[in-house]
Structure 1
Amino acid sequence: MRRLAIVLLTLLVAGCGGTATGPPPGSPAAAPPIPVPLDGARFIADPCSAITVEQVESIGFTDGVRDTGGEARCVLAFGPIVRVQTSWLSPLRETLDTLYADHASGKDTGNRWEELMIKSYPVVVVWAEENITGRQDKGPLACRLALGLDEETLMYVGTNIDERAEAGPWQYDSCGAAKKVTEFVIDNLRA
């Protein structure tokens, strides 16, 4: 009987120990902080202020022209297929915090979730168009990243490469191209 009392007392004391626990399951993950806000207002006013044809050509793309712009996007075309785009979701103006909260709650944020840091800024690969069966080793045909510019503005940087020669050395690396374009975007939008 005394042994049983000691065992029960030991279990009771062990159960009262203060062990650290993580956040409860299903609680939203916090977005990483934006180190220094970028100029989101300038980007919203002119989406093409984020990237130029010349910058994209400097990393090997060819035959570039500013194809279209619009209220919420800028598209640079390189030949008939290859595109580099910067955009935001008008009129929603998502933020990095809402993107992370949506992802944590199971809402559709794209077919991929890969968190990165580019030039100390939090970036998430949110979508990639996988290559056709038998060519997956060549990499995705298109890729989209999300970049928090400031506490109120989320930008998407997309590349549609489709294995085309106009993408130069990025012909089989659409996500790598999107990451490099994002470096230019960060430099261009430093407030």
Structure 2
Amino acid sequence: MTRRPARGLAMLMAGGLVVMAGCGTSPPPPPPGPSASVPPIPAQLNGNKFIADPCSAITVEQLRSIGFGEGRHEQTRQGQCLIVLGRSVDVTTSWFPPLRESISTLYSGRAQGRDAGNHWEEMTINGYPAVIVDVEENIPSRRDEGPLACRLVLGVDDNTLVHIKANTRGKPEAGPWLNDPCGAVKKMAEFVIGNLRS
């Protein structure tokens, strides 16, 4: 009679081990994050050229050809090229070391809720995917004059995102773009595409 309880205890212990082993298994994988429909790059441009020299993206002469005043390049920090036009107008082409974003990481990051800027306006420029991600609005009494600054990001290959920002602030050095920085960055993106083809 004493053997039956012992056998039952052994079975309970074995059952307990099975349950404990089940608790130690890894949890199921989390569900996949939200997906993003990423526009394609029509033909790979030379993103390495831009990473090595952000000033290769656009020239002062090209800016002058669309109405900007006299200007000069100033390499301000790693990953950025600043073009100063007059006293207060500037254009920057940049990336953000050590990150090397792409149009794919931009879209997927936004789908996952990461901050991509205060604006999101998708477009294509000469077939290449671009997004206006930041617009600095004018003061309320001058909103009809257009924004103060605008930043566009352009996918040039599968591994490179070019940031183009124009800060025109209604100054005469910006020529026809003084109240249209977003129009200016779109036009600059066309130059970037041509300059990075080689």
Residue 155 of structure 2 is aligned to residue 148 of structure 1: yes
Residues 48 and 69, structure 1, Cα contact 8 Å, conserved in 2: no
Q: From 141, 145, 153, give the equivalent of 1:138.
A: 145
Q: Which residue of 2 aligns with 1:27?
A: 34
Aligned ranges 1:36-75 → 2 under 5 Å:
36-75=43-82
Residue 102 of structure 1 aligns to a residue in which SS?
helix
Q: CA RMSD in A?
A: 1.6
Residue 126 of structure 2 is aligned to residue 119 of structure 1: yes
Q: Which residue of 1 aligns with 2:90?
A: 83
Q: Which residue of 1 aligns with 2:28?
A: none
**Could you tell me how far apart the structure 1 residues matched to 2:74 and 2:85 are?**
9
1:67, CA displacement in angstroms? Answer: 2.5
Structure of larger gyration radius: 2
Q: Please give the per-residue CA displacement for 1:47-76, whole angstroms capped at 9, x wherever unaligned.
A: 111100000011000021112344201111
1:94, CA displacement in angstroms? Answer: 1.0
**Could you tell me how far apart the structure 1 residues matched to 2:39 and 2:139 are?**
34
Q: Which residue of 1 aligns with 2:112?
A: 105
Q: Please give the per-residue CA displacement for 1:144-172, whole angstroms capped at 9, x wherever unaligned.
A: 01111111111101101111110000010
For structure 1, the residue ranges without an aligned partner over 5 or more in a row are 1-25
Q: Please give the per-residue CA displacement for 1:5-43, whole angstroms capped at 9, x wherever unaligned.
A: xxxxxxxxxxxxxxxxxxxxx722121000001100000
| Amino acid across the alignment from 2:39 | P
Q: Which residue of 1 aligns with 2:181?
A: 174
Residue 141 of structure 2 aligns to a residue in which SS?
coil
Residues 129 and 140, structure 1, Cα contact 8 Å, conserved in 2: yes
What TM-score do the two structures reach when normalised by structure 1?
A: 0.84
1:177, CA displacement in angstroms? Answer: 0.4
For structure 2, the residue ranges without an aligned partner over 5 or more in a row are 1-32
What TM-score do the two structures reach when normalised by structure 2?
A: 0.81
| Amino acid across the alignment from 2:156 | L
**Could you tell me how far apart the structure 2 residues matched to 1:70 and 1:50 are?**
16
Q: Which residue of 2 aligns with 1:185?
A: 192
Residue 159 of structure 2 aligns to a residue in which SS?
coil
Q: Which residue of 1 aligns with 2:22?
A: none
Where does structure 1 differ by over 4 angstroms across 4 or more consecutive aligned residues?
none
| Amino acid across the alignment from 1:37 | Q
